[in-house]
Amino acid sequence: MKNINKLYKNTFTIVLFIFGVITLYTLKTEEVPRFILFLGRFHPLVLHLPIGALVVTFFLEVIRRLQKKEISETIKHLFGFTAIFSIITCFFGYFLSLEGGYTDTTLDLHFYTGVATSFFATGLFYLTTRDDFKTNKVFLPLFIITLILISIAGHFGSVLTHGDNFLTEYAGAEPKEKTIEVVDSLRIYEDVVFKILDSKCIQCHNASKQKGELSMMTPDLILKGGASGTNLIAGNPENSLLFTRMLLPISDEEHMPPEGKEQPTKDEIWLVNHWIKNGANFEGYALSVSSDDTLRDKLKNYLVLNKIKIPMASKDDIENIKALGFRVFEIVPREGALNVKLLNKNPTFEDLQKLKSIEEQIVELDFENAELTDEMLNVVKRMKNLKFLRINNQTITDASLKYLKELEQLEVLNLYNTSITDTGLSELLESINPKKIYSTETRVTDNIAMDLQEMYGVNIQNSLLKGFVEDSQLQLPVISTGRTLFRDTIHVNVKSQIKDVDIRHTLNGEIPDSSSKKLDKTLIFNKTSTLKVAAFKDGWLPSDILTTEFTKITHNVSSYEIVHKPNESYPDADKLFDLEEGTTDFKDGKWTGYFGDDLITTIDLGTKQNVSNISFNCLEDVNTWILYPKWFTVYASNAKNIGFKKVGDISVSREGQGGDAEFKKVHLKLGDVQARYFKIVIENHDKLPDWHPAAGNPTWLFVDEIFFW
């Protein structure tokens, strides 16, 4: 034991000597050396070691006392560990404080309670090393005082790091926000800009923690600026640090918020820029600056509505509904409200009745182009939270509207291309009052629609204005099947949403025109084909060309190995080969997602085969950090782990800064390659490009299907 005590004594001496010398050197320098600041950054890392060790030691000490045993060597070593690292933590904390940006009072309380904790922890260790140590009456009270001190020090540390109310923020009931249901009632600073600053900046620029001598807690402090000078110049965002530092590359030391913190979105950056450019008004309402439609759209995200709390549906219920041919996703992540779209165009009455399991959660329901009967719509009558309903089918008559009369929350009703009449719509509006109704291509007359609109204050879109039809362009035709990949044959029907329309098509790559072959029956493909269709009608401009590739899968994947597993939020690499194609919604459950990683997989076709083409589906949604991949490379070999040679590659990324979410197929022609094993590399970007609001962060890569043909 004497040797152990001597070892600890030497360790304490060395630690105190080294850090003592460093501290004295620091005190004598006019400017804090960067090496000292570097050491200070280890404070948050090291401080958890003595905390954890002290708690474990207390637990073991309580057990020892209950069992009335002598103190063990393990407890003594834990006290030694705690004492040494508590001393090191204090020095690192002092070095960190030299960066500045902290209020003196809180910093002093944190520092001195931390030093006191270290002193008591060292005293406890000293008591355990004495030869005459038993279970004296002082030991346990000192231990409890040490735990109290470390808790107090931890509290003040959280105040320095996260603000005054970090510990107590969720202690009481959630404060109720004032309801703001129209954009014109929003105060630009208080209700919009301050919320952006609060979520992205104030954590480091508050009353207790003022990085760069800057606080953003009040308008006066924002205008005052910090150590770097003026923070905000009204009307001049280009020279306002509050705005320009958001645009710096994330790797830049002056980028704000710093790397690792939550970054502002593209819309948030736009709003801050707009606010500064328009005078940085701290008192004005949105009404005074809201002539811009883009601004009005972005401000809608800051409305505080009188929300109805909708409980989450069970995962089993949602999966059961999806299995029936519905697409289901959360309107707001981790909240109960659901958007449900029927993908199966020929549902049964029983299929629709099963929606009752999630009827409370359905807020948006889309039956577009589904073959429904009036009676089938009785499923919606108990959907008390339904706000959006789309029904587009000529078989729907006034008889179905009786099921809608109790939908008090309904805001948008789309009855396009149904057989609804003046009488049915009039009776419906006697019961409920939606904000907007689409009744184009129905039996509702223009005069009655105008009367109902004036009587009930509802916006009714009933027909195109006279003289407008001649200049209008037909909508794209709709392809009945949601699949484009098949193994044997695939049946394809094409329809138009407008009556009496001719659909013309080609299969030879040519652009369809009014002389092309009319499509009036089901097409059956038994080989890879490219279908181009367009809609034509007298007095209308032709629709745009709809081009769809239907690909016959000629080689089955026997097995595969993958280097980087998909991100846990979008797992299951088997989705790469299930022929279930994803949509532009990355949360539809059909995509695999990789955050910062490349997709690298080795595929076994089972036997040596001739492969002419390899393709995959990928997604781009710039606003959610999803970009098309950079490069697609394929290697082939007849041995599983050796002999791979590159057989082709192709660049994928498109030019420009992207827009709305979209996906595409990437095809790589190989000629005729004979091999059993194919290694595929789909290369992700290193980071988001400079033009992106979140530049410097890792990118998402979303891939759906990899197929051979």
Give the up-direction half-sphere exposure of residue 487: CA atoms within 13 A in the CB hemisphere. 7
Q: Are residues 544 and 585 in the same domain?
A: no
Is 415 inside a domain boundary?
Answer: yes
Q: Report the distance separating Cα 697 and Cα 684, nearest Å.
A: 13
**Which has more confidence, 479 or 159?**
479
Residues 139 and 214 in one domain: no
Q: How many CA atoms lie within 13 A of 255 on its CB side?
A: 20
pLDDT at 679 over 90: yes
Report the pLDDT averaged over residues 262-284. Answer: 83
Tell me, yes or no, whether 380 lies in a domain: yes
Whether residue 154 sits in one domain with residue 7: yes
Q: According to the model, what pLDDT value does residue 466 have? A: 40
**Residue at a domain's end among 510, 527, 552:** 552
Residue at 237 is within a domain: yes
Tens digit of each residue's pLDDT (9 = 90 or more) over 304-363: 655 567 889 998 999 899 888 898 888 766 788 888 999 888 889 998 999 999 999 999
C-alpha 636/C-alpha 629 separation (Å) is 21
Checking if the pLDDT of 577 tops 80, the result is yes
- Same domain (yes/no): 481, 520: yes
- Tell me: do 190 and 272 sit in the same domain: yes
The residue-averaged pLDDT of 147-165 equals 75
Q: Which residues contact 31 (CB under 8 A, 6 or more apart)?
A: none
* pLDDT band (50, 70, 90) for residue 151: confident
Question: Where does the pLDDT of residue 647 fall: very low under 50, low under 70, confident under 90, or very high at 90 and above?
Answer: very high
- Please identify, among 267, 302, 337, the residue that sits at the C-terminal boundary of a domain: 302
For 186-245, the pLDDT digits (tens) are: 778 888 888 888 777 776 766 656 676 777 777 777 777 777 777 888 888 888 888 888
Q: What is the pLDDT of residue 684?
A: 94
| Residue 489 to residue 225: CA distance in whole angstroms | 68
Mean pLDDT of the chain: 83
Residue pair 591/570 in contact by the 8 Å Cβ criterion: yes
Q: State whether 293 and 415 are in the same domain.
A: no
Q: How many domains does the chain have?
A: 5
Note whether residue 466 is domain-resident.
Answer: no
**Do 542 and 574 sit in the same domain of this protein?**
no
Range of 24-28, 148-152, 349-353 with top mean pLDDT: 349-353
If asked whether residues 703 and 576 sit together in one domain, one would say: yes
Pair (646, 526) in one structural domain: no
What is the extent of the structural domain holding 634?
A: 559-708
Read off the pLDDT band of 180 (50, 70, 90). Answer: low
CATH number where 380 lies:
3.80.10.10
The average pLDDT across 461-487 equals 70
Enter the pTM of the model.
0.38
Q: Which long-range contacts (CB under 8 A, 24 or more apart) does 128-135 make?
A: 128/71, 128/75, 128/76, 128/79, 129/1, 129/5, 129/8, 129/76, 133/71, 135/65, 135/71
Model pLDDT for residues 663-674, shown as the tens digit of each residue: 888 999 998 899
| The residue type at 446 | D
Closest CA to 393 of 430, 342, 358: 342
By the 8 A CB rule, do 703 and 576 touch? yes
Same domain, 391 and 412: yes
Of the two residues 590 and 470, the one the predictor is more confident about is 590
Lowest-pLDDT range of 38-42, 461-465, 478-482, 705-709: 461-465
CATH number at residue 539: 2.60.40
Among residues 461, 481, 503, the one where a domain terminates is: 461
- Asked if residue 74 has pLDDT above 50, the reply is yes
User: Does residue 167 lie within any of the structural domains?
Assistant: no
Q: Determine the pLDDT at residue 386.
A: 92
Provide the pLDDT for residue 562.
94
pLDDT band at 95 (very low <50, low <70, confident <90, very high): confident
On whether both 695 and 664 belong to a single domain, the answer is yes
Cβ-contact 600, 560 below 8 angstroms: no
pLDDT over 90 for what percent of the chain?
A: 22
Is residue 176, in this structure, part of any structural domain at all?
no
Greater pLDDT, 122 or 4: 122
Q: For 477, phi and psi rounded to 5 degrees?
A: -65, 165
Q: Is the residue at 493 inside a domain?
A: yes
* pLDDT given at position 426: 92
**CATH code of the domain containing 697:** 2.60.120.260
In this structure, is residue 509 part of a structural domain? yes
In this structure, the answer to whether residues 126 and 193 fall within a common structural domain is no
Higher pLDDT, 201 or 645: 645
Residue 471: its pLDDT value, please? 45
